Amino acid sequence: MRVVAAMSGGVDSAVCAARMVDAGHEVVGVHLALSQSAATLRESARGCCTIEDAGDARRVADRLGIPFYVWDMAERFKQDVVDDFISEYEAGRTPNPCLRCNERIKFAALLDKALALGFDAVATGHYAQIVEGTNGRELHRAVDMAKDQSYVLGVLDAEQLAHSFFPLGDTTKPDIRKEAAERGFSVAKKPDSHDICFIADGDTRGWLTKRLGAQSGEIVDESGTVVGEHEGAYAYTVGQRRGLRLQNPRPDGAKRYVIDVQPATNTVVVGTDDLLGVDVIHAEHARWPGPPPVGEVRLGAQLRAHGEEFPATVRAEGDDVVVRLDERTRGVAPGQSVVLYEGTRVVGSATITRTSRK
């Protein structure tokens, strides 16, 4: 097969490309230039898409003896990931930019371009497994659960999965680093990048404030009593406890959390942790790597990239999904993704729109 190996400049994508070459494929390395103002050097382990990263990827490609190209997708990334991230927070939701990047960049823009150029598939260094099942290819969790990235790949559809390779899914991260060292890759000990890649210092609130401006408003409790002030409701998410700076603590001293964000009135509502619990999740924009479930089915629901899996009853209704959790779960925010599992198999994903109690 003719395969594009997405090479970020990190250790995972380096070993991914090497394994595709070892498997006998005709491999071309591609580094995606996603930043419109790439720095020369990394500012931290969170950053990505720097000139340094492109250079690291090129050195690995040279060592493997494969062609290497840089594809400029900065404008597409800005529109589909960064601008989406801003607008979602502005609307009071909590997005996951890694899912959007996989959906709209790596397995849409990149894959579409690769196929148009005559390639058969794209290979990435994600920790997940593809298994040939009775209904075709299936997406499964990685062997290394500490690094499993099947959650952020839950946005893939069956056609995209058919043109994808994840050659690291059967290996643990320490073994990947060991293999990289044995292959002589200079990136063997390079630190992992972390979410959110385009906010290098990790200060999401400060980053959003620079783009949306300060917007003073009230923080109120569940009864509507003003207990504090904020500089922008967009900077808060359901379940948040730190950074609230409340002026009026509860008489009983109980901790308070964000239980609702109301962008229309620029209001943040706080309450005790018992008010965070939800039983039912409503979601939209369903994506299915295989056949969608029919009727009510029993599945596991994961609500965060490295979060717990909760048993649930699920019903798919066209583009919408209703997830009824067996046990009340805390801190579920609109805008997050719910990814559904049957054992280790990813059944599908959807974006949470609202939650409710029984």
Residue with tokens 């290819």: 137
Catalytic residue among 48, 49, 98, 197: 197
Long-range interactions of 157-161: CB distance < 8 A, separation 24+: 157/287, 157/288, 157/289, 158/288, 158/289, 158/290, 160/107, 160/108, 160/111, 161/130, 161/137, 161/289, 161/290
Coil, helix or strand at residue 225: coil
Query: Among 311, 315, 335, which Cα is nearest to 325's?
Result: 311
Helix (H, G, I), strand (E, B) or coil at 1: coil
CB–CB of 11/128 below 8 Å? no
Q: Using an 8 Å Cβ cutoff, are 256 and 250 in contact?
A: yes
Give yes or no for a contact between 170 and 144, defined as CB atoms under 8 angstroms apart: no
d(CA 33, CA 84): 18
Query: Rounded distance, CA 82 to CA 203, Å?
Result: 15
Q: Clarify whether 197 is annotated catalytic.
A: yes
DSSP string, 64-120: HT--EEEEE-HHHHIIIIIHHHHHHHHTT----HHHHHIIIIIIIIHHHHHHHTT--
Start-to-end CA span in the chain (Å): 51
3 state SS for 291-309: CCCCCEEEEEEECCCCCCE
Q: How many CB atoms lie within 10 A of CB 186?
A: 15
49 is catalytic: no
Residue type, 161: L
Question: Do 54 and 69 meet the contact criterion of CB atoms below 8 Å apart?
Answer: no
Nearest to 335 by CA among 97, 132, 45: 97
Where in the sequence numbering do the catalytic residues fall? 101, 197
